[in-house]
Every structure is written in C-alpha cells, then in structure tokens.
A and B are shown apart, each in its own frame.
Chain A
C-alpha cells in the first residue's frame, strides 16, 4: 500500500498527463460520422506506430558488439516502420476517395 502511494506520488505529473490524455482521446473523436470509422481506425493505427521511437531508443543504447540485441532492435525498427508507413499510406488511400467530386 505504502509502495503504491509512493509510486503515485513520485509519478504524479505523468499520471495527470495520462488521465488528461485519455479524455482528449475520447473527446477528439466524439462526433465522428460512421462513414469515417474505418479511415479513423486506420489513422489511429498509424499513430500508435509511434512505438517505433522506443525501438530507436533501444537501438541507440544497445551495445554494438551484442549481435542478438542488434538483430532484435533491427526487427523492432522494421516492424515499427511498417506500422507507421503502411498505416498512414493506407489511411491516405481510403481518404483520397472522399475528396469532393463535382
């Protein structure tokens, strides 16, 4: 119990940040028409590709002589890039179709 209180106390800023972000996430897509559900899901999918930043941080910190860690990091960055690039491009292709005709 004491541990939990200490933990929250030490990380109070980040906890505020998390709670406020949750509300922002809910509010920001609150009024989305159902036509846009699929593109929005796809766009959100691309945004969580930000996890690639973590993979890059791991790579920057890894020991150049540790082959195993380099291989895993390399795969991590490839997968993250797939998520980001593929996600944004697919979303763009979907949304391209909504541009005003006539």
Chain B
C-alpha cells in the first residue's frame, strides 16, 4: 500500500515536471512570435499581448508545478504578496506615466530586471560553492545584472533631468577600463578558486554596481537611448545566465532573444546617428566641442512674427513639419495636429518629417504624434522625405535642432559630422520654433538658424503654435 502511494506520488511529480516543460515551450514560442509581431505596426499590439500571456503561463507554471508538498505555506504567501505588490506598482506607474516620460520608465523597469538577476546570484552563491559551471552562471548573472541595474538608474536620472550634465573624470576611459579589468579578474578568481567567502561576494557586487555608475556617467543625455538599449540586452544576458544555472529553457530563450535582439537594436540606433557604438561609449559627445565650431561664422538671425508666419503658411502649397523633443516637452502634439488639419482644409499639403532619432528615442515622435491622432500615412521617414524638401514652400521646425543641423554634412570638425539629417535647408522658407537661442541637446551650434532663408519664431512650442493656429483661423 505504502509502495503504491509513493509510486502514484512520483508519477504525479514527473507529470508536473513534463507539463511545466510544455508550459515553458509554449512561453518561449510566444516570446519569439511576440517579438516578430512587434516588428510590424499592424500586429505589434497583439504581439505584445501574446508575449505577456506566455509570460503569465511561465510564471504560473513555475509556482504551481515546480513546488512540492514540502513547500511551506509561508513561501507561497510571500511569493503571492510579492507578485501583488510588484503588479500594483508596475501597473499604476506604467498607466500614469506621461508619453514624454516613457523612455526613462523603460530604463527604470530594465534596472529592476537587472537587480532581480543580481539578487538571484547573491542568493544562489552559497548553494553552489565548488561547482565551477554553476558559479560561472551565478557570478556572470550577478555582475551583468548589477551593472545593468546601477547603469539604468543613472540613465533614468539623466533622462528625467536630475543629472543633466555628464560627469567626466579626467581620463575616465582609462579609469573605466581598469575597473572593468579588475572586475573581470576578480570574478574570474571567485569562480575558479571556489571560495565561499561572503565578504568577497559582496565586494564583487559593490564593484559591479560601481562600474555601472562609472560606465553610464560620462555618456551624454543625447546618447541615452543607445545606452538603455544596450543595458536592455545586458539584462537579457543576465536572465540567460539564470537560465543556464537552473537549466531553465524559458529563461534561456527569453534572455538570449532579448540579448541578441537588443544588441541588434542598439547597432541599428547607432547607425541612424551614423556613429559606431564604441564612439558612444568611449567618445565624449556634446559640451566641449560646441564652443569651437560655434564662434566662427555666425551671421545674424531673423525673427518672424506670428502673423507673418501664418500668412506664409496659409498661401503655401506644401508644408513639412519637423517635430523634435521641444514639441514633446511642450505637449504640443495636439495643437500641431489641429494646425495640420486646418492647413489641409485650406488646400495645403502637410507632411511630417520624422528623423530616426527625433525625440529621446527612435520612434518616440511617432508615438507622440499617434497619440494626437495624426494620420499614420502623413508621417514620412527621412529617406523618403529628403528629396521633397526642394519642392516645399515652408518647413516648420518645432523644437528640433540637431537633426536639422547642416554641420553634419559640411563641418568635419563637428561632433555630429556624418549623421544623416533632414535636408530642410533646401526648402524655400524655414520657420524654426525654439524657446531660445540655446544650443540643442548635443550642445552644438546650428548654422541653419543663420541661413538667410530661416526665420525664428521664439517661444514655447505649445504657446507659439496655439497663437499661430488662432491667427490662421482668423484668416
């Protein structure tokens, strides 16, 4: 009787294990499908939901199928409490955040994942002393997770403006390389020596956190999207190390997919800015070069009044709007859409020219304009719109700067030299709306503003556009 009972029990456990593997397999497929569908505007939303469903399956399966009768209730209570707390905070934050603040929120959530991976490493260390393979996965996941965590927090602070200036120690590249080398040698020692010292483990953890801070600190705010994308793939890698440790296939697939897709995305973003990744990480960008290229050929700038701007646009055949981060900050996406509709109703062709890195993240502008119901077909990408500028009467640049800076084509000494830009200078008239003459995000002087064809419309984007709209309505 006793024997029979044991047998039933063990069959039951084996069945659970197999069922869990099937859950993991399904979840892995949903991740791949989800990513695939997210690469197409039509299916993107469903893709995200499918991946979320797969994730729920993997989490629920782990809780219910992995546990044994020895698992104590207190553990369950804690797991569920943690799930409830995390879901509530995550849900509310994500639902409440403003569209303009999304990039920094992505960075923050990425940091949370990194911290989670780091904690797993810290906790598993003691159970695996002497097992070199497991130690490799534990230390690897712990270090990458920690770097991703502290780096993401710095990126978050930079994007929300708390840390606006890049902090560059003298010869920071050498210092960082030394820290990194130290970190690698130190972790190599911990893995190979089979030490069980808690002090060494926490010291390693601290060094990794410190490296994350030092890694992101010198990088300017304009490059944060690239950094976040890179840290995103780091966290993927950390999750994959966890998968290796537990021989858990869903963590492996999820982690590696994000690791490789994230790396590719990072490279694509760098390409859009025409800068190699190494340049983003090791090269100083923004700030110091601004003065050097600025002073030489300043001309005079020309103001334009609201009514002149309105007349100019009202009697144009074709107007192209170039939105930038200034538009996002001023929350002017709805006003610009109204302006566009009014002009269209007067027979003016209106299009939006979207630079791949307009805003704070690639695609950021599209998200914002879509929020205010701008027709998807009116958004033109750079390659497609560039030939059209020469046949355009008025280009309205709203809060964009570096993406229309001709220095990228003409001035080899400029830090953005080589970056593809929107050729707005080919249009008949250029109206630039800006708050002040301050340099753009990258801190580089823009000669477009001194072009005889350019007129400046100073003021907050929402404010200026509302006035422009009212003026046009009155016509």
Contact = CB atoms under 8 A, between A and B. Distances in A.
Interface of A: 3, 7, 10-11, 14, 17-18, 21-26, 28-62, 64, 69-70, 72-102
B74 interface: yes
Contact of A78 (B72, B82, B95, B109): B82
B58 A50 contact: yes
B258 A25 contact: yes
B412 interface: no
Given A60-B67, A85-B87, 5 more contacts: A31-B39, A41-B106, A56-B62, A82-B112, A98-B41
A86 B116 contact: no
Interface stretch (B8-16, B175-183, B364-372, B402-410): B364-372
B81 interface: yes
B261 interface: yes
A90 B106 CA distance: 8
Nearest to A92: B48
B62 A25 contact: no
A42 B45 contact: no
A89 to B, nearest CB: 4
Contacts of B119: 55, 72-73, 75-76, 79
Interface stretch (B246-254, B392-400, B454-462): B246-254
Contacts of B250: 50, 53
Given A64-B72, A85-B94, A100-B376, A92 B49 contact: yes
A25 B79 contact: no
- Secondary structure at chain A's binding surface: helix, strand, loop or mixed? helix
B113 A43 contact: no
Nearest to B249: A17
A35 B359 CA distance: 12
Contacts, number: 360
Interface in B40-71: 40-42, 44-45, 47-49, 51-52, 55, 58-59, 62-63, 66-67, 71
A79 B44 contact: no
B310 to A, nearest CB: 27
Contacts of A61: 127
Contacts of B242: 51, 53-54
A30 B302 CA distance: 45
B207 interface: no
A21 B256 contact: yes
A75 B74 CA distance: 15
B169 interface: no
B103 interface: yes
Given A41-B229, A53-B58, A54-B251, A72 B122 contact: yes
A85 to B, nearest CB: 4
B252 A14 contact: yes
18 contacts: A24-B32, A25-B35, A25-B264, A29-B261, A29-B265, A35-B379, A35-B381, A37-B356, A48-B254, A48-B255, A62-B123, A70-B74, A73-B123, A81-B83, A83-B109, A85-B91, A95-B48, A100-B42
Contacts of B143: none
Contact of B86 (A30, A42, A73, A78): A78
B335 interface: no
Given A33-B41, A89-B95, A98-B41, A58 B48 contact: no
Contacts of B83: 77, 81
Interface of B: 27, 31-32, 34-36, 38-42, 44-45, 47-49, 51-52, 55, 58-59, 62-63, 66-67, 71-72, 74-75, 78-79, 81-83, 85-87, 89-91, 93-95, 97, 102-103, 105-106, 108-110, 112-113, 115-117, 119-120, 122-124, 127, 132-133, 145, 228-229, 232, 235-236, 238-240, 242-262, 264-265, 268-269, 272, 354, 356, 361-364, 366-367, 370-371, 373, 375-376, 379, 381
Contacts of B376: 98, 100-101
A88 B87 CA distance: 11
B58 A48 contact: no
A10 B136 CA distance: 15
B52 A51 contact: no
B375 A102 contact: yes
Contacts of B123: 58, 62, 69, 72-73, 76
Contacts of B373: 101
A3 B308 CA distance: 77
Closest 9 CB pairs of A and B: A81-B86, A25-B260, A86-B90, A50-B254, A85-B90, A77-B82, A37-B362, A89-B94, A97-B370
B270 to A, nearest CB: 12
Nearest to A100: B376
A71 to B, nearest CB: 9
A39 B367 CA distance: 9
Contact of A81 (B40, B87, B236, B247): B87
B44 A39 contact: yes
Contacts of B95: 89, 93
Contacts of B75: 59-60, 62, 64, 70
Contacts of A91: 38, 48
Contact of B363 (A31, A39, A83): A39
A8 to B, nearest CB: 11
B228 to A, nearest CB: 7
